[in-house]
Structure 1
Amino acid sequence: MIKAGKFGILIFLMGFYFSGLKAQTTLKELWDSKYAQNGEEPDLSTPYSTILFFFFHLDEVNYSPEDASKALEIGKNNNIDTEKLAVRLKQIFEGNGIILNFSQIPDDPDFTDSLANNQSKYFFDSRHFPQIYLEKKGEEWKFSSQTVSQIDKLYHETYPYGTGRLLNLLPKLGTQVYFGIHFWQLAGIFILVFLLFLSHKLLTVVLDKGLLYFLQRFGYEYLGEKYLLPVAKVMSIYLIIVFSVLFIRVLQLPAEFVSWLIKILNVAKPLVITIVFYKVADIVSMYFSKLAEKTESNLDDQLVPLLRKSLKTLVIIVGTLFVLKDGLEIDIVPFLTGLSIGGLAFALAAQDTIKNFFGSIMIFIDRPFQVGDWITSGEVDGTVEEVGFRSTRIRTFRNSVMYIPNGKIADATIDNHGLRQYRRFYCTLTITYDTPSDLIETFVLGLRKIVEAHPDTRKDVFNIYFNNLSSYSLDIMFYIFFQVPTWQEELKCRHEILIQIINLANSLGVRFAFPTQTMHMESFPEKKSLAPSQSNDMNFYKARLQEFLDKELTKKET
């Protein structure tokens, strides 16, 4: 591990050396090639000549800010420090890693930019720095007055929070050249690496000890160790990346290397933020999981994993877009436009899938049933096992599995037997015709006592009455409710009640009737007819009726 680290530092320094050597050698060779060999005098007649003139006189060997400032268009404002602005403009180029490819800079006095309405302007980086450009004034190409007015602003944006002061302090450490770079740059690299290492260790200790101690006091130690600490550690890496972006500019390293390094750091920033939100999705899912545990429904328990997967997918998609846009500087507008058109085509082709998706959302919102409920809807009759984003899985009573699209379930009429507060039990008890009325009354009273004594029956509502004379029996309606949550418990209660009814009937001598046929002969020799003798006296029947009524009324009064 240590050898690998040393090898990495060596490669790091060699990159500085060769990139710096290449830049310096190229600049000198270009100057000699244009002026020394051709015997020409330095001028500002073309964009190429102006840029070469400006940077050559700000080179450490030929350092002359006074000459370099001649490439600035100051107009009538003579009260500004042109030498300071020239130095700052070069520092803006170096701090932002703006690479000057002299082979692509036009050497034509009459150059016009077709992207700028064919004006005599030359932009260095119109996408990132449209404020910095050359403009032809008379016969000379100079940095435009607009560029000069924006130098201070761009300088403070490049070196924010006072980091620009280090540009004056660090060179005092020494300007000797080692490995192709100055001593103060080399010292700055080691100071930066040391500070990043120290800050990472410090942040890790603070988060591990401080945050964990704080969470322990409030009883959230598990939450801190499993969820918050990983997020906090990744955030510490993000802070280190931000510090690196700020201070790497101060070292004034070769533009090729700075451009490459800033691009890597710009990719790392949205990537780390994506990782943070990816881990935050676990925290959000855990919070909703705790809320789901407090509810009686099982649907929200099943919704939490789907929510976690959806959040993570969304984070990855958005994070990828930011990496492409901010890190790799890829224009994502055409991609989003194509995605919207493709999304419309996809929606038309997959409308059934989308319908099922929204059907699942409505199931999760309305909650017409939950996992474990017995539901009936048309040909569907079974117990809900799982509710997904596309379909619902139902276990039938034949032990087969049915997969019903959620779009159909959302539109169907559902009879949810699992939401019943009480489970009805209704049957008819048939007893023989020769059962005396007093025995019937006693039997009915005993049935009511059985219901009242059972622990799982509803005591406030039940109906047990002698209510019908059928063709072969006397019928007693037995209508009660069980207060149990499942069908298995309902069957158990039915079993217990029916056993007690049979025991009661055996104890009282009540006989249950069943369909029979009895043959009666109208008359036999020397036998009296079975048909009752009828009287034609109406008063006889009235007397018998009054006798019955008096008897019944006497019973009620007593």
Structure 2
Amino acid sequence: MILDTKRLLSFLLLMMLLFVKPFQAEAQLLGTKATTEEPEKTPDDSLGRRTPQGTVNGFIKAIGDQNYLRASQYFVLSKRSYRKTAERIRIAKTFQQLLDQGGSFSPSSIISNKELGRIDDDLTTGVDLVGSISTNKNNIQLYVENQSDDSEPALWLFSSETIDAINAADVSGEKTFLDRILPKVLIERKLGNVPIGHWGVVVIMAVVAYLLSRLLIYIIIFLIHKIWKQADSEKGEAIIDAFTLPIQMYLTVILFVVTTQRMGISIVVRQRFSIIIITIGILAFLILLWRLTDFVSMFTRSRMNRRGRISAVSVVLFLSRTTKAAIVVIGIIVMLGIIGVDVTAGLAALGIGGIALALGAQKTIENFVGSVSLIADQPLRVGDYCRVDDIKGTVESIGMRSTTLRTSARTIVTIPNGQLSASKIENYAHRDRFIFNPIFGFRMETTPDQMRYLLVELRSLLYAHPAVLNSPPIVRFTGITADALKVEITAYIEAINFETSQEVQEDLLLRMMDIIEKSGTSLAYPSQTLYMATDIPVSNEKADEVAKTVKKWKKNNELQLPKFDPKRVEELKGSIKYPDDGSFEIKEEE
């Protein structure tokens, strides 16, 4: 009994521990805040040497301030050279002198602004090419190299190979072209730690480069007119005009860069102008795209007008404006990137905004795509009479969003192009022939010979009429109904439009009525119609006459049933005068 009590107490204690531990753990979780370790930020370098771009910009600023000791901190130096202050200053001054004589850095916006540097070039990871020096005696490639390990923050410095080449260069006694020709006062007086004469020469060279580029463009255009025969045409003039300004801007930039570098203008000045130079180059390319868009739009519109495709002009204009808007947007993004603005977030927002705009303008986009398909397939054109589903009318206009039809009631129906492109379109304007398909019902008293006469004469009429297509017409006795003898006619009228076909059909029906009246029979009235007039008796005389005619045909083997004799067909063709005698005709002079 005591043993059972001890076991019971042990069990109760174990259960209490099992329940208490979860509550303690939950209390601990509720009582303490979750802490997340923030990633350690890379400490900034006071000299801005974390990226290749920062290293180059910092070095340019240091030599511009004439702080050559600070400029030497951007070099990979040996311990011996680093201890000698005079040696470090000498290397920095030599570097600046070589750059002034014939060196250049890549524009700041092109140099990588990432700690990893450029990874899309052919160089080793951690090494970037940022410029070059090319003089009569020296040809040096300027490299920056990441001196830190993967576990340490990046530290980009001019490589030891570059510094060794600069240190070994002989610049004693060498003066730049400007130092030799400028007055001493323009060299000693400085603006922004740069001789004031350099700033003046930059302005003068900009004007000279512009004038030289205009002269070169004039000579090039003159030679083009001499060589190219179509240069004086409207198309040739448009092409020349599209390329003139962009090429002139490119020539101005090239002449300015080459001359300023060869004349020995300070690298500080040239590097500050590098952003302006590359901006002008990109602007020239955007202007070229803009003018080419205008030329293609003008050429396409004139071609569409000559072909009569007026509806395609609106599509060309819309595409032209869309292309120009894209050129402006891309130009703004590129310009912001050049001046150092990070456009990544803006592009992401633009992408999200574009998706939202596309979803909101889904119907508009659908109508635009529908208009493009209408222009490409051309199921209808302006002026065509057509039927769209259950709507009949003449096409008045085909726009970017919708197409308008004018119905026979003179009302305007507007159909969205997205819906129109998915509808069944029946175009009456493109018919090459008009069907003539009357069905006659003759009286039950019509004799077989009268029926034979009708079949022959009706077909003869169709063969003889000049407005009926030469394809063999069909005139068949197709059946006997409860109240009539059924004759079906199928032929095609050759006419330039619907109104003319109606005129021909009217003439054919009138002539057929004459044949029916001459045969002695008449059209049957529907049995459900109560006809109160006195019935016209069948003409026995005409019936006898028709019977004699058919008998004569049979005797001479001239009954044109079930087929016509080809010789007889040739005799009948064009034998009817149309319009008939007595009809009004418009004279050619009128």
- Relative to 1, partners in 2 of residues 1:453 and 1:92: Cα closer, same or farther, differing over 3 Å? farther
1:304 and 2:307 matched: no
2:179 alignment counterpart:
171
Instruction: Tell me the CA shift for residue 283 of structure 1.
Output: 2.8
Deviations 1:396-432 (CA, angstroms, capped at 9, x unpaired): 2222222222332333333344444433232235666
Deviations 1:332-391 (A, max 9, x none): 221111111122222333333333333334444444434443333434332333333332
Residues 206-245 of structure 1 aligned to structure 2 (within 5 Å): 206-207=220-221, 209-215=222-228, 217-218=229-230, 221-245=233-257
**1:496-507 residue pairs with structure 2 within 5 A?**
496-503=504-511, 505-506=513-514
For 1:253 and 1:281, the matched residues in 2 are separated by 39
Unpaired runs of at least 5, structure 1: 1-45, 60-64, 99-114, 118-125, 137-142, 155-165, 521-549
| TM-score normalised to structure 2 length | 0.57
Partner residue of 1:84 out of 60, 69, 94: 94
Summarize the Cα distance change of 1:225–1:193 in structure 2 as closer, same or farther, 3 Å threshold.
Answer: same
Asked if structure 2 preserves the Cα contact closer than 8 Å seen for 1:185 and 1:252, the reply is no
Match of 1:359 in 2: 370
- The answer as to 2:402 corresponding to 1:391 is yes
Q: Distance in 2 between matches of 1:551 and 1:184?
A: 119
- After TM superposition, give the deviation of residue 506 of structure 1 in Å: 4.1
Contact 1:47 1:134 in 2 (8 A): no
1:75 to 74, 78, 92: 78
> Partners in 2 of 1:232 and 1:53 — Cα distance?
38
CA deviation vs aligned residue, 1:91-132 (integer Å, no higher than 9, x gap): 89997898xxxxxxxxxxxxxxxx979xxxxxxxx9x99977
Q: Which of the residues 469, 473, 489 maps onto 1:462?
A: 473
1:493 aligns with 2:501: yes
Match of 2:356 among 325, 333, 345: 345
Residue 460 of structure 1 deviates from its aligned partner by: 1.4
Deviation at 1:197, TM superposition (A): 0.4
Q: Residue 340 of structure 2: SS of its match in structure 1?
A: coil
| Aligned twin of 2:3 | none
User: Aligned in 2, Cα 1:556/1:55: closer, same or farther, shift over 3 Å?
Assistant: closer
Alignment of 1:280-319 (within 5 A): 280-286=292-298, 288-289=300-301, 292=304, 300=312, 303-319=315-331
CA contact (8 A) 1:204 1:233 kept: no
Work out the CA distance in 1 between the residues paired with 2:414 and 2:377: 20
AA aligned to 2:95 is L
Q: What is the CA deviation profile of residues 420-460 of structure 1, one whole-angstrom value per residue up to 9, with x for unaligned ones?
A: 44332322356667777666655554544554455554321
CA contact (8 A) 1:384 1:395 kept: yes
Tell me what 2:538 maps to.
none
Query: Which whole-Å CA distance do the structure 2 matches of 1:453 and 1:348 have between them?
Result: 64
Q: Matched residue of 2:438: which SS?
A: strand
Report what 1:381 is aligned to: 392
Give aligned-pair identity as a percent.
19
- Whether the aligned pair in 2 keeps the contact of 1:297 and 1:370 (CA below 8 Å) is yes
TM alignment of 1:529-544, pairs within 5 A: none
The verdict on how the C-alpha distance between 1:245 and 1:423 changes in structure 2, with shifts beyond 3 A counting, is: farther
* Distance of 1:466 and 1:313 partners within structure 2: 69
| Equivalent residue in structure 2 for 1:272, among 264, 269, 284 | 284
Code of the residue aligned with 1:396 in structure 2: it is: T
Q: How does 1:43-442 map to 2 (within 5 A)?
A: 55=63, 72-75=75-78, 82=91, 84-88=94-98, 146=158, 149=161, 168-178=176-186, 181=195, 186=200, 189-190=203-204, 192-207=206-221, 209-215=222-228, 217-218=229-230, 221-248=233-260, 261-286=273-298, 288-289=300-301, 292=304, 300=312, 303-326=315-338, 328-429=339-440, 441=452
Q: Quickly say closer, same or farther: Cα 1:491–1:131, change in 2 above 3 A.
A: same
**1:445/1:554 CA distance change after superposition, 3 Å:** closer
Paired amino acid for 1:322: V
Q: Structure 1 pair 445/232, CA: closer, same or farther in 2 (3 Å)?
A: farther
Partner residue of 1:534? none
Q: Give the drift of 1:223.
A: 0.3
On the 8 A contact 2:467/2:504 being kept in 1, the answer is: no
SS at match of 1:344: helix
Judge conservation of contact 2:368–2:401 (CA < 8 Å) in 1: yes
- Cα offset for 1:225? 1.8
Q: Give distance in 2, aligned partners of 1:311 and 1:199.
A: 29
Mean Cα displacement is larger for which, 443-452 or 168-177?
Answer: 443-452
More displaced 10-residue stretch of structure 1: 86-95 or 278-287 = 86-95
Report whether the alignment pairs 1:482 with 2:493.
yes
Q: Which amino acid aligns with 1:266?
A: I
Does the C-alpha gap of structure 1 residues 272 and 400 become closer, same or farther in structure 2, counting only changes over 3 Å?
A: farther
Q: How far 1:280 sits from its partner (Å)?
A: 0.6
Displacement, 1:185?
Answer: 6.4
Please tell me whether the aligned partners of residues 57 and 68 of structure 1 are also in contact (alpha carbons under 8 angstroms): no
**TM-superposition CA deviations, 1:39-60 (whole Å, max 9, x none):** xxxxxxx969x9899749969x
Look up the SS of the partner of 1:177 in the other structure. helix
| Counterparts of 2:165 and 2:434, CA distance in 1 | 78
Number of residue pairs the alignment of both structures matches: 431
| Residues 289 and 151 of structure 1: CA distance in aligned 2, closer, same or farther (over 3 Å) | farther
Report the equivalent of 2:17.
none
Structure 1 position 220, deviation (Å): 6.8
Contact 1:176–1:183 (8 Å) recurs in 2:
no
* CA separation of 1:442 and 1:249: change in aligned 2, threshold 3 A: farther
Looking at structure 1, the residues matched to 265 and 532 of structure 2 have their Cα atoms a distance apart, in angstroms, of 114
Do the aligned residues in 2 keep the contact of 1:175 with 1:182 (CA within 8 Å)? Answer: no
Contact 1:96–1:258 (CA<8 Å) still a contact in 2?
no
**Residue 136 of structure 2 corresponds to which residue in structure 1?**
none
Separation (CA, whole Å) in 1 of partners of 2:281 and 2:557:
93
| Structure 1 residues 96 and 358: alpha-carbon distance in aligned structure 2, compared to 1, 3 A threshold | closer
